[in-house]
Every structure is written in structure tokens, then in C-alpha cells.
Chain A
């Protein structure tokens, strides 16, 4: 399937569909509705759409109030502003009182591209994951994004959903059954397991395919829900394959790699190699060139798998 769709596009369409089904759904944006795609919803439901201006803290507070009034607010802006500028508003006014606010942040990660490091959030998963009670979802493609958004109609509680700017490969079709908190095992492997999220999932699949030629059996898990993490899936993978590689378009500090490390080091220690942004800021460039530059490719994952396998204790 060479069909490409940006997850933000899928968000815009799914939000509109959910809005048609559920009159309680409202959308908010902070002057980026064309980019985050909430504009699609706003066009059909102007009376249920609030552009609060360039005021991300207020964006989160108003969303909290709308939720208290019985609405299901979806608040969107770029990931760096949503989770950085308004972190404490999300903590105090949304998560601490446990309100049903959905934060869908776009332009996450380095595939933002040309706008450069100021706009490329490599810390958002980490920032959101640390708040008690927050659910964190990183969809792998357009299909999964749509399914996750539709699932939000029935899923109560504060939730962060991370979507991207760039068009990326579709790995799922409509038959896919998304569940919050459930890992999706795409491929089983006996030598190592790649646990990936977001746009690194297609790269992981590519890597696993190529590794077979080198005689390495690598499994692939799409860990779309970073929190609550499907720990059982992580432990099973560690037990069965004995080595783990994580892959994310995010800093290796605090995101998926850290989440997985926390689980395996406590419950089933096996060699682990994390693929991700190595504690540095992003920079301007074309998304594909940046993925190359920051080591977020199938090639980098292949190398990491070989490293992890080499670290496994030798069988006697």
C-alpha cells in the first residue's frame, strides 16, 4: 500500500464524523485550525467551534469549562504549544479534576520539517505521560487516527492524541480494531521485537522484513497507546524474543523508549536499544531528510535490532 495520508488530515475528517454522530462534541483551536484540521469541523458546525486566538493556556481552561458543562471538547494546536505552553493548565484544570477533555495536537515530532526546531516537539509524549490520569495515544497512520478519534466518543477522561503534519504510509485498512490501551502485534519474532509508535511503525515493518533476509526474526508491535501502557504485551515480547528495540519520532527520554524500559527493567530484563531523537532539538529541512539525519529510519532500526541481538546472553 503506497497510499499516503497525514494523520492530521485523518483527524479533521474523523472529528467531523464524530461531531455528526454526537452533538456534545465541540472543537477548539488557537489560530491554527487550517493546520490542525479542526477547520473542517468548524465549517460544518460553526456554533460548536471556538477559535480562542493565540492563547493556549486559555484554550485548555475553556475546554475544561466546556467539559464541566457537559460537552466533549477537542482542543487542538501544535504539539509543542499544547503540551509546553499549557502544560500546567492541562495538569491543574483538566487532569487534576479528571475532566473529559481531548487534546489532539498536530505537527508533533521532527516531520514538521521546514519550520525548524522551535516547532518540532520531541518532548510532548514525555510531558503528557507524566501527568496522573492522562491517557496518551500516538496513532501509526490515518486509519488508526480515525479509529482513535471515533473511540473518544465513548472513552471518558483526559486524553492526549498526537498527530503529524507529513503524509505518511497507511499500514491499516478499515477492518482494523483499535482499542485504547491495547498493543497491536503486527508480526511475531523470535530473535527480537521492535516496539514502535506513530510513523515509526511502517519503518519498523520495513526493517523486520529486511532483517529476515539476514536471518533475524524480528517481531513488530504497534504501541499506539503509550499510557496506560500494555505492559503484558511488552513483557510477552521480552520473554518470547529476548531483546527489544523501541522506535519513536520523539526524544528517547521520557517517551515510548522510556516507558518500555521501565517495564522490562522491572519485570523481565532483556537487552534494549532505543531508536529516537537523541536528546537534541530538531532543525529545518525536508521531513525525509530529517528522518535520515536523526536516525529515524528502517536502516537505523535494523542496526539497533542487530545491536540488541548481539547483547543477548549466548545460549550454552
Chain B
């Protein structure tokens, strides 16, 4: 389903709103993960505001598509998408990481409606996504499972256990999206522990693969549609992204992995993000 130009524009604007929410809530919280939240903003926007069938007023609606944020440290992007979709008041974003808040440092499915499973320990989400997709297959359900992984996260062995299983069980109702921003905590993935040829790796495990620009809304949506159309195998979408995307202060800077915007940086960030609005 191709998108009307106006719709694409609308999604791009939504992604801007999500980015503003992210930098604002992180600044207010005084801690948290800026870079990986911003790099995933366009992908998460495409899922929550276009691709996924879900009902914010009925978070447990059984026929919904499921999203698993395997890279749980990017919680702010998920919280912003959930709030803007209507799962909870946007105002609650201000409580991020505070004592008593439902918006934990990493997503907690016991606390916050809309979070499918608690994450934060890297490498575990894709297995859970496999189990969910398997249960949908058993019950001949139409709902799909989307899993968003970091590229550094691919260094976890469990990811490849899950990749092997997803292909083995023919989980074509599962789409993994890799936020390929090239950075992790201690530096570039290529320096810390090379994860290159991500597409080839997934392909050799029996997946269909699609490589896209993870900041191009049309490419993201086209890839998600193609993934749904592929039958018999799971699809990995390798999305080339820029860590910290949206503000020049953070873009491609490894230091902003786990540093929130200061008040001054917030001002710059909001201004730059608005320019794209």
C-alpha cells in the first residue's frame, strides 16, 4: 500500500513531534539514552502511526500487532509513540525515570500499558518475539510481530539463536528491524566488535533481508509492506541510521549514547527538529 505524499508528510511531522518529546523528557529526567532513541524515531513512528494494527484504548486487544523494543534503553522513543498514540497522557512523559513513575528507565510491561514485554537486557527480545510469532502461527492469527534491535546488540549470541529458530519455524509473521547506527557505548561497532554484513548474516540464517535508509519514511513503509508480503521466512530490515538523528549536536556522537541534553542543548535540539517539521 503506497502512501499518499500528504500522509508521508504527516508521518515525518509526527516523527518530529516524537523527537521533540524524546529530547524534552530526557532533559527533564536528567539521565537516559539520547542517541539510540533519536535514531529509531522514524522507524517507530512508521510502526505506531501507520503500519501496526493496535488500539490504544484497548492495549490488550488480542488481535493487535506486537512491537518489542529489544534495545530497551531507547525507551523514550517508545514512550513518546505510546503517549502520542493515546495509551497514556502526553504529560506523563515528564515523569520519565522518576520514583513512582510508570515510565521506568527501561520499559516495564507490568507497569505501563502498551509495553508488550519488559526489556533492557540486550539480546533477549528477539527470542520473545519468536515465541509470540510462534503462538500466532499456532492459533492461525493474523497479527504480526515487530522487533527493533540495536546493531551493537547483534553481538549477543542469543540473537543468533533466535535468528536460527525464526527461520527454522518459518516465522513470516515476524519482522526484525535493525537500527544500524554504527555506534554502541564504547565506540563504533566496527572498532568494538565488528558486526558488519548484517544483511548477509541474516540471509545466511535463512531470513529475507531488505536494506533501507532508516530516516526515509517512504523507504521504511515500503520495507514494512514488503516484509509482510514475504511468505515462508522472517524478514530482517537493516535500517541505516544516524545515532542522535535530528540535532547536529548529537548526530554520530558516541558520547550522546547515554547523555541527556542539557538545557542549552535542548534549546538547540528543539530548534533544529522544528526546522524539519
Say whether A58 contacts B127, CB under 8 Å: yes
Interface residues on B, range: 35 or more
Residue B247, interface by CB 8 Å: no
Chain B binding site: helix, strand, loop or mixed by DSSP? Answer: helix
Residue B121, interface by CB 8 Å: yes
Within 8 A of B (CB), among A78-98: 88-89, 92-93, 96-98
Interface-side segment among A1-9, A64-72, A213-221:
A64-72
Mark B114-135 against chain A: 1 for CB-CB distance below 8 A, else 0: 0011111101111111111111
Q: Known: A92-B121, A98-B110. Is A52-B128 also a contact (CB below 8 A)?
A: no
Mark B50-87 against chain A: 1 for CB-CB distance below 8 A, else 0: 00000000000010001000000000000000000000
Which of chain A's residues have a CB closer than 8 A to the CB of B110?
A: 96-98
Return the chain B residue nearest A91 by Cβ.
B121
Which of chain A's residues have a CB closer than 8 A to the CB of B62?
A: 70
Which of chain A's residues have a CB closer than 8 A to the CB of B169?
A: 50
Say whether A61 contacts B124, CB under 8 Å: yes
Q: How many residues of A contact B (CB 8 A)?
A: 29
Using a CB–CB cutoff of 8 Å, the interface residues on chain B facing chain A are 62, 66, 108-110, 116-121, 123-136, 138-139, 157-158, 161-162, 164-165, 168-169
Beyond the given pairs A26-B138, A68-B117, 14 more chain A to chain B contacts, judged by CB atoms under 8 angstroms and listed by A's residue number, are A55-B158, A58-B130, A60-B127, A61-B127, A62-B131, A64-B128, A65-B132, A68-B66, A69-B131, A69-B136, A69-B139, A73-B131, A97-B108, A97-B117
Using a CB–CB cutoff of 8 Å, the interface residues on chain A facing chain B are 26, 47-48, 50, 52-53, 55, 57-58, 60-71, 73, 88-89, 92-93, 96-98
The 6 closest A-B pairs by CB, nearest first: A65-B131, A61-B127, A69-B135, A58-B161, A55-B161, A62-B131
Identify 28 residue pairs between A and B in the complex whose beta-carbon atoms are under 8 Å apart, listed by A's number.
A50-B169, A52-B161, A52-B165, A53-B164, A53-B168, A55-B158, A55-B165, A57-B127, A57-B157, A58-B127, A60-B127, A61-B124, A62-B162, A65-B131, A65-B134, A66-B134, A68-B128, A68-B135, A69-B131, A69-B132, A69-B136, A88-B124, A92-B119, A92-B121, A93-B118, A96-B118, A97-B108, A98-B110
